[in-house]
Each structure stands twice: as C-alpha cells, then as structure tokens.
Amino acid sequence: MKPIDLFMQFFRREGWVYAIGLTMLIAIDIAFLFVPQFIGNAIDTLSHNKEGLVNYIIYFILLFIIITILKVISRRTLLGSIRRMEYLFREILCRKALQIKTTYYEANGPGKVMALMTNDVTSLRVALGLGVMIVVDIIFYSIVGSIILIQKIDGLLAFKIMTPVFFIIVTIFVLGRKLRAKQRSAQATYSDMTEFGQELFQGIDVIRAFNRERIISDSFEKINKLNYKKNMEVALLDSVLTPLTRIAPFICISISIFICGHLAVNGQMS
C-alpha cells in the first residue's frame, strides 16, 4: 500500500467532516475580522453622545456567541476526524505488523515499527490537526488582513503592521524543519532503546549467569538518558514554536493600536 492510499482511505471516510471543520475555522477567522470594525464604530459613537453604543455592545455579545459555537463545531469536526484518522492509521499499521514475517523482526528488530506507531502517527495527527489550524489562521490573517488594511488605510501602514507576521512565518518554517530533524533523531534513539529492551529481556538468563546486571543496567541508563535528551530537545523547540504561532496576530494588533493611536492623536486618522 502506497502512503497516498492511506490518506485517500481516510479522506473517503472523513473528508467531508474534515472539510466542515476547515470551513468553520475560516468562518471564525472572518468573524474575528469584524471585531476591529465594531471597535472603531463603537469609539466613533462616543463623539455623538454615545448614540448607538448599546447596539454595538449587543453586536459584540452576539458575535462572540457565534464564534464560540463555531469553535466548538470546528474542534469537534476537524480534530475529531483527525483522531479517527490516527485510529485508522494505527489499526492499519498493527494489522501490517502482524502480517510481517518473523525473519524481518529477527534481522531488523521491532524498534523501528514501535517508533513508527508511537511517533510518526502522532506527528501526522498534530500536523493535520493543530498544524493545519495554525497555518490557516496565519495565512488567512496575513492575506485578508493585509487586503483590508490596504483598503481601509494605506499600503505603507499595512506593510508596517503586517511585517512581524512575515518574519514569524519564516521563523516558523525554519524552526519547523529543525523540529522535524530533531523528531527523526529522537525516533531513531527510541527505536534503539526499544530494541535494547527486547534484547535485554530475551537474554536475561545469560546476563544473570555471567553476573552482568550492573553493566547492562548502566548501558540501559545511558541509552535511556540519551532518549530523554533527544525528546527534551524536541520539546524545547516545540515550546518556542507553538507560542510563536499563537502570539503572531496579537503582535500585529498591538502594532496597529500603537501606530493608529498616534495617527489618531495627531489628527491624521479619524
């Protein structure tokens, strides 16, 4: 079975649910774009004796109720379908692992199969779930947000506000490549540790017979610490990458408030 066949099997069963989740995600992003417009209009009412301010408060409440409902639907459909994909992939891998001849395991060991089922399937779930959500948010806000800013204000101001997003996108891609390399290294170490553990249990009688418990214990501790170190390197990069993707829109909002606030104070913007 080719890798594309696995994904086609998933999308035939869950593709429509996944598409609904993506649609809801885009709808949420569109709804959030109304927030600055409502804030601007609400502030404008302050110069007209607060006429219509209550209406904008109601609009805000209704908007956030709609966003909350869409978020629930998006999470249940998008992430729910990805969880079912993970179950499907693990089921196929397990079935395939049982069909492989024992000579393969004798020659290569079960570590690679264990690492594949433990790490790679989880990485696919994260990439097609939270990864897609983050990418859609960043791309949507970058493109649509830039278009709206250019139409509402001007191109130079839009460029100043959106500049951090482009740097963050480049940083995400660079860190993403490094993260993938670290994940592969951690996966290889996990595979070695799994094979070492299997050999340890298979040869436990020989180890006891030659009184090698201390030596084997030190060897296992060494490979276990190496596995811990590799996984901590992955966790460190992930701890930088994940918050970075979350704060990108807020950085742009902060810059827009700062720049537009100065323009409003100087009377260059209403």
Q: Which residues of 195-206 are buried (b: 16+ CB within 10 A; e: fewer)?
A: bbbeeeeeeeee
Nearest 5°: the CA angle 100, 104, 108 is: 130
What share of the chain in percent tops pLDDT 90? 1
Token reading at 10 = 């998933």
Query: Residue 140: is it exposed, middle or buried by C-beta count within 10 angstroms (0-12/13-18/19+)?
Result: middle
Q: Report the Cα 93 to chain-centroid distance in Å.
A: 24
Residue 78's identity, in one-letter code, is L
Is pLDDT of 12 > 70?
A: yes
pLDDT of residue 154: 66
Distance CA 131, CA 136 (A): 9
For residues 117 and 152, the answer to whether their CB atoms sit within 8 Å is no
pLDDT digits (tens, 9 = 90+) for 91-111: 888 888 788 887 777 776 666
Per the CB < 8 A criterion, the answer to whether 268 and 173 are in contact is no
- Of 97, 89, 90, 124, nearest to 113 by C-alpha is 97
Long-range CB contact pairs, 123-129, < 8 A, 24+: 123/183, 124/85, 124/86, 124/89, 125/82, 125/83, 125/85, 125/86, 128/82, 128/85, 129/78, 129/79, 129/82
Burial of 106 (0-12, 13-18, 19+ CB in 10 A): exposed
Reported pTM: 0.68
Amino acid at 10: F
C-beta atoms surrounding 81 within 10 Å: 23
| Mean pLDDT rounded to a whole number for the chain | 78
Q: Among positive and negative, which fits the CA dihedral 218, 220, 225, 226?
A: positive
pLDDT in tens, 159-187: 766 677 777 777 777 877 887 788 788 87
Q: Which uninterrupted H or E stretch holds 76?
A: none
Quick check: 204 pLDDT over 60? Answer: yes
Q: pLDDT for 48-74, tens place per residue?
A: 666 677 888 888 889 889 989 998 998
